[in-house]
Amino acid sequence: MEPIVESKPICIITGPTAVGKTAAAALLAKSFNGELVSADSRQVYTHTDIVSGKEKDPYGKSVSSGVSISLPSGTVDLMIHSISGVPLWMYDVVSPDTHFSASDYQMCASQAIVAIQKKGRLPIVVGGTGLYIDTLIRDVIRDQVPSNFEVREQFKDAGYVELQKYLDTLDDTIYESMNDSDKKNPRRLIRKIEIALYKNSHKLKQKQKKSQLFPYHMIGLSLPFPLLYSHIDNRVEKRIHEGAIQEAEIIRDLYGIQCSLFDGLGYSELLLLIEGKMSIEDMGERWKFDEHAYARRQMTWFRKEPSISWIDMQSKDSEKEMKHLMEAWYNK
């Protein structure tokens, strides 16, 4: 996707899971006339309210944005939700049985950003899916690589572990760019293998281009890992109590266990419980452990981005520091 002509800057609030990104972004949106754009690979799906941690106003109603986008899977109409009275985009974009790629996210989120800017408001992208954020700030080679049906036939019966090893050998950069859900999804791993083989055979450069789709200011929120793990554990227990198991059962009943959500964080652990392969206690511990590992991978990803201004969320002045950073940038 080409950089948008005369595009205006956006703000990005990012960091690991459970660090408090959405609440912080909503606070900044109120102070700086902003609207939020979610950058979370699970929140784009319907029926994922509890496990993905969608924060919606309890009595708020979603409204049509009037923005319709044609994707390979069909046309989607973007809805606007609300959190603490702040408009929020990119929740509930497609159903769980729909493939939604990073390129799809780029297309939808960029149109949401433009719509927000046309209203004279500041788009604040908030989330921890680094690959989604990357699509908004860099021109990355993605879905223009043609399908390779010979590769698909070759690997049609392969498990995700075998595919992971092969892709990592072919191109570790592509492999490391995948989120946790995609790394356990054979179909998406095979697609990445197609891309890696195409790049190798056409001698394409492995490095990402640095042209920007949107100018941006990025703020990263952090916590020491022991404290972050405690936040994660409390949140997992809260989500189980609020009905995460029932939510996973509904998705299974509607879309089957082959639904790609069950390859991802939270739902993969819940499926083991639903199928009687794990006790609720063991499932909870497994879920927490996997969330801890995901948080570490997120921090590894974000530390490669030199332009992030970091805020330590355990500081009593963290809110003041965030507003100071925003004011210095926003008033330019």
Q: Check whether residue 158 and residue 187 sit in a common domain.
A: yes
Q: Which residues, in sequence order, are bridge partners of residue 221? A: 311
So what's the pLDDT on residue 140? 58
96 lies in a domain? yes
List Cβ neighbours of 124 (8 Å cut-off, separation of 6 or more).
10, 11, 12, 13, 25, 28, 29, 32, 34, 35, 36, 37
Looking at the fold, whether 28 and 132 belong to one and the same domain comes out as yes
CATH code of residue 319: 3.40.50.300
Residue 185 domain flag? yes
Select from 158, 110, 160 the least CA-distant residue to 132.
110
Helix axis angle, 280-302 to 225-242, nearest 10°: 140
SS (H, E, C) 139-207: CCCCCCCCCCHHHHHHCCCCCHHHHHHHHHHHCHHHHHHCCHHHHCCHHHHHHHHHHHHHHHHCCCCCC
Burial of 27 (0-12, 13-18, 19+ CB in 10 A): middle
Contact (Cβ atoms closer than 8 angstroms) between residue 41 and residue 260: no
pLDDT of residue 195: 85
Residue 3 domain-assigned (yes or no): no
Q: In this structure, what DSSP letter does residue 300 have?
A: H
Same domain, 165 and 250: no
User: Which amino acid is it at 76?
Assistant: V
For residue 250, is it within any domain?
yes
> How many domains does the chain contain in total?
3
Within this chain, do residues 195 and 217 fall inside the same structural domain, yes or no? no
Same domain, 82 and 115: yes
If asked whether residues 274 and 326 sit together in one domain, one would say: no
Using CA atoms, how far apart are residues 328 and 74, in angstroms rounded to an integer? 42
User: Do the domain assignments include residue 17?
Assistant: yes
Between vectors from CA 64 to CA 62 and to CA 70, what angle results, nearest 5°? 125
Report if residue 206 sits inside a domain.
no
Q: Do 19 and 101 share a domain, yes or no?
A: yes
What is the pTM (predicted TM-score) of this model?
A: 0.82
Cα–Cα separations (whole angstroms), residue 287 to 43, 53, 321: 18, 14, 33
Residue by residue, pLDDT tens for the chain (332 residues) are 555 545 689 999 999 999 999 999 999 999 999 999 999 999 999 999 999 999 988 878 899 999 999 988 899 999 999 999 999 999 999 999 998 988 899 999 999 999 999 999 999 999 999 989 998 987 554 545 677 888 988 998 999 999 999 999 988 878 887 877 778 888 889 988 988 888 787 655 444 444 568 999 999 999 999 999 999 999 999 999 999 999 999 999 999 998 989 989 999 999 999 999 999 999 999 999 999 999 999 999 999 898 999 999 999 999 999 999 999 999 87
Residues 85 and 121 grouped into a single domain: yes
Instruction: Assess whether 30 and 156 both reside in one domain.
Output: no
Same domain for 217 and 157: no
Alpha carbon separation from 247 to 52, 95, 231, 240, 278 (Å, rounded): 11, 14, 22, 10, 17
Domain that holds residue 279: 243-295
What would the two tokens of residue 23 be?
């609440």
Do 262 and 158 have their domain in common? no
Residue 234 lies in a domain: no
Rounded to an integer, what distance in angstroms lies between the CA atom of residue 51 and that of residue 266? Answer: 6
- The span from the CA of 219 to the CA of 319, in Å, is 12
Note the pLDDT of residue 58: 83
The answer to whether position 132 is within a domain reads yes
Cα(291)–Cα(286) distance, integer angstroms: 9
217 and 91 together in one domain: yes
